[in-house]
Structure 1
Amino acid sequence: MRRTKLVRPLAAVAALAMLAACSTDPSLDDPETSSAEAAGGGEDDAGDTGEAGEEGGGEDEGSTEEWFDQAVYDTQYEQRSATFEGDPEQPFLQYIDGPMTDTSEFASDGAKKVCFANASISNPWRQTGWITMNEQLKALQEAGVISEMETRDAQDDDNTQIADIDYFISEGDCDAFVISPNSTAAMTPAVERACETGKPVVVFDRGVETDCATTFIHPIGGFAWGIDTAEFLVDNLSEGDKVVALRILPGVDVLEHRWAAAEKIFGESGIEAVDYFTGADPTEIKKIISDELARGDVQGVWMDAGDGAVAAIEAFEDAGADYPVMTGEDEMSFLRKWEDTGLTGLAPVYSNFQWRTPLLAVEKIFAGEEVPTEWVLPQTPITEDERADYLAANDGMPDGHYAKFGGEDLPGYPQVWQERTIP
């Protein structure tokens, strides 16, 4: 059975998961080009049909319809309210009940070497996760589970990561492979070659088009993000209100899934939505919002990742306009600005604590314990009622930190995260 797009549950045909909140694909067109500009339409009004996708993406990235999958949408809609197995105090070990992988063949004593092929640490979300992963590594090294983790950083390049994986395979001394793919299709053959070694393979964050991995770890997915955020905006806006959607990059499946779900809900609810690609550039974000405000009122802002959320809010302040209803992310800069302004907001998450789970999965695998074949982690937005608690719990953390990083019980807390010590 082959996986299609990222995060399609195994029961439906398997999966994929993304970059998380924001990662890059070097094969993509210029991310600073808005989707309206890419289609050559720019100022055309999408009306109340929700067809902002007509302005979005351009032919190279494909239409929203290409990314929308009703079966996956329905599954992730239900998973948002699923019961997760495991201790809620350890969300990085929770999972939705489903098929399990028998790992008894890998059971053995002694510390093991892990080889990690990482897509990149090129944005704050990935940097936060990388810090957490290394603190988890220290704990497992002290426990005698892992001897070392040799890591190669592909710096957002497919060819580099393929070479990294092949290097690990040829090196021959990896006891387990951990892979966070840079992109989906391009990385599939290399992941399959890792599987052919007979060693356990753990894929996390984004997926690939094969189910050969011992476990595939990811939060619920992009459609869930899009549903949570769009429903929040619809509940707090009126039919005919305008939403500006700020998107990081085209062609990245979980990001595309976020927008595909949101666009569907906006269209069904009579919300006028226009979308732009920003490359997370604060200057570009301010320009987009300023231009839209010059054309008329903007009641809502939707984002497929929180980078640049503060810039969007500042554009309203600069224009002397009322604050919008807005969705950002659990990045500290947004949470703080949200609190300071009192705007109506929601912080969706692409659970950053998932960076702990691959190494904890390796621990289980070498203990011969079953692991979920598709390890679906919780993905719960931060609401206004919870915001103060997360701000207090992350007091002293830098703006680029993510509130749901899940590393409070690890060595180095809180100093390593406060100092933003990148290994």
Structure 2
Amino acid sequence: MRTHPSSPRRRTAVAAALVAAVAVTATGCGSGTSGGGSAGSGDKPFIALSNGFIGNGWRQTMIAKFEAAATKAQSDGLIGKFKVVNAPGENSATEQVAQIKSLLLQKPDALLIDPASPTALKPVIQQACDAGIKVVVFDSAIDAPCAHVLLNSFKDWATAAAEPLVKGIGGKGTVIVSRGVVGSQPEAEMYQTTQDILGRNPGVKVAATVNGMCDGAKAQKAVLGVLSSVPKVDGVIGCGDGYGVAQAFTSAGKPVPAVTFETNGRALKYWQESKLDNGSVAVMSDPGQSVAALWEAIDLLDGKDIPKEITFPIVLVEQKDVAAWAGVLKPDEYAAWPWTQELFRKQVEAAKSGGAPVQPPIPTTAG
């Protein structure tokens, strides 16, 4: 999957109309009082979310969590309106730039962005900031100084995925590396971390590298495509695609090696029932950070002091916690920390004081 650089848009009425039409077809919108205008106009704020990629379960959970929280915030009178727009392509920065430009015409008070590129969105983000819109970027670093950013520790994610697996196979053997959304800043950081870990473990050899896209179905197809040329595999280092990888090995009539499971209900139930104890782990970033971004936008509009960058914890499911998570997740739902407004504000205070990130509790009910 490629990330395309942004290009100038034609400034014609026809092009603007086409962009608007695309945005409408890909939009989910909260009902209620319309936002728009400034936060100080007396209206409740209008919050928009631009998502650069919708093609995996993590992104779908991220959107679902945001919409549920935004609907509740709307009913509580904290916001007046919300809108979600998903770029129709596969992580195309060009499409997301067009999407955001269309959103800016609707004058949101705050714009949340899960970006397709750490650099290509900089001009349009600056345009939003210049218009007085609060911009909160999450799930990726961004080259846009005016934006507030919720960061994952992708190094922690990649480390938690690779190190237990390497240890589980005894520091030697053959592995397949399943990469994520290639072209994105998080994937680049994770892949480099994986390479660094493998470099410190010369007894582990990489037999193949595939693009699993952090998606079980895509990883299953990608891994199955190389298994016939790899006689023995001790582990597959991925970014949350282990269920699909396990199915690939089962289909090929081979034993399931150590894998990096996704953090959804289906994968965790499989892990629980298969009783694998070979270095496998489930780890991904937190799809609930879209909810944290919503709370940040609301607090920024209220004039609260929030650091420009805050790092949020990954979701790590170890063997001891598999049953707890598997009991509360629907099959296609990904584990997400339950960020309430109170928990988010505690995270802000931790960031200000230099303390450790807040660790929310494992939810006790689904959804």
- For the aligned pair, the TM-score class normalised by the smaller chain equals 0.7 to 0.9
Q: Distance in 2 between matches of 1:161 and 1:209?
A: 15
Q: 1:168 to 1:326 in 2, by over 3 A?
A: closer
Matched, 1:261 2:193: yes
Alignment of 1:375-394 (within 5 A): 375-394=310-329
Q: Which amino acid aligns with 1:225?
A: W
Q: 1:243 to 1:111 in 2, by over 3 A?
A: same
Query: Tell me, what secondary structure is at the counterpart of 2:243?
Result: helix
Which residue in the other structure is 2:355 paired with?
A: none
Which residue in the other structure is 1:158 paired with?
A: 93
Query: Tell me, what secondary structure is at the counterpart of 1:235?
Result: helix
1:132·1:407 contact (CA, 8 Å) conserved in 2?
A: no
Q: TM-score, normalised by structure 1?
A: 0.65
Q: Which amino acid aligns with 1:354?
A: Q
Shift of residue 340 of structure 1?
A: 2.3
Larger displacement relative to structure 2 (320-329 or 199-208)? 320-329
Shift of residue 140 of structure 1?
A: 1.1
Q: Distance in 1 between matches of 2:229 and 2:119?
A: 37
Which residue in the other structure is 1:284 paired with?
A: 222
Matched, 1:140 2:78: no
Query: Tell me, what secondary structure is at the counterpart of 1:372?
Result: coil
Q: Cα deviations across residues 258-277 of structure 1 (Å, max 9, x unaligned)?
A: 12111211221221123222
Matched, 1:182 2:116: yes
Q: Which amino acid aligns with 1:165?
A: I
Q: 1:25 to 1:195 in 2, by over 3 A?
A: farther
Query: Tell me, what secondary structure is at the counterpart of 1:178?
Result: strand
From 232, 235, 246, the counterpart of 1:300: 235
Q: Cα deviations across residues 219-241 of structure 1 (Å, max 9, x unaligned)?
A: 222x2212112211122122431
Shift of residue 114 of structure 1?
A: 1.6
Q: CA RMSD in A?
A: 2.7
2:263·2:284 contact (CA, 8 Å) conserved in 1?
A: yes
Unpaired runs of 5+ in structure 1? 1-23, 29-104, 418-423
Q: Cα deviations across residues 177-202 of structure 1 (Å, max 9, x unaligned)?
A: 22222222221111111111122211
Q: Cα deviations across residues 116-148 of structure 1 (Å, max 9, x unaligned)?
A: 222133321111111110111111112212100
Shift of residue 351 of structure 1?
A: 0.9
Q: 1:305 to 1:253 in 2, by over 3 A?
A: farther
Which residue in the other structure is 1:325 paired with?
A: 258
Matched, 1:369 2:304: yes
Q: Distance in 1 between matches of 2:240 and 2:59?
A: 13
Matched, 1:314 2:247: yes
Q: Which amino acid aligns with 1:210?
A: A
Which residue in the other structure is 1:49 paired with?
A: none
From 169, 174, 177, the counterpart of 1:242: 174
Q: Distance in 2 between matches of 1:174 and 1:251?
A: 29
Q: 1:144 to 1:167 in 2, by over 3 A?
A: same
Shift of residue 319 of structure 1?
A: 4.6
Unpaired runs of 5+ in structure 2? 6-37, 342-363
Alignment of 1:22-421 (within 5 A): 25=2, 27=4, 110-156=43-89, 157-171=92-106, 173-213=107-147, 215-221=148-154, 223-270=155-202, 271-274=204-207, 275-278=209-212, 280-292=218-230, 295=231, 297-306=232-241, 309-344=242-277, 345-394=280-329, 397-398=330-331, 400-404=332-336, 406=338
Q: 1:232 to 1:191 in 2, by over 3 A?
A: same
Q: 1:315 to 1:182 in 2, by over 3 A?
A: closer
Q: Which has the higher contact order (CA 8 A, sep 6+)?
A: 1
Q: Distance in 1 between matches of 2:151 and 2:144?
A: 15
Q: 1:165 to 1:282 in 2, by over 3 A?
A: same
Q: Distance in 2 between matches of 1:158 and 1:299?
A: 37
Q: Cα deviations across residues 320-357 of structure 1 (Å, max 9, x unaligned)?
A: 44331222221222212212222231001211110101
Q: 1:316 to 1:165 in 2, by over 3 A?
A: closer
Q: Which amino acid aligns with 1:127?
A: Q
Query: Tell me, what secondary structure is at the counterpart of 2:263?
Result: coil
Q: 1:239 to 1:112 in 2, by over 3 A?
A: closer
1:132·1:405 contact (CA, 8 Å) conserved in 2?
A: no
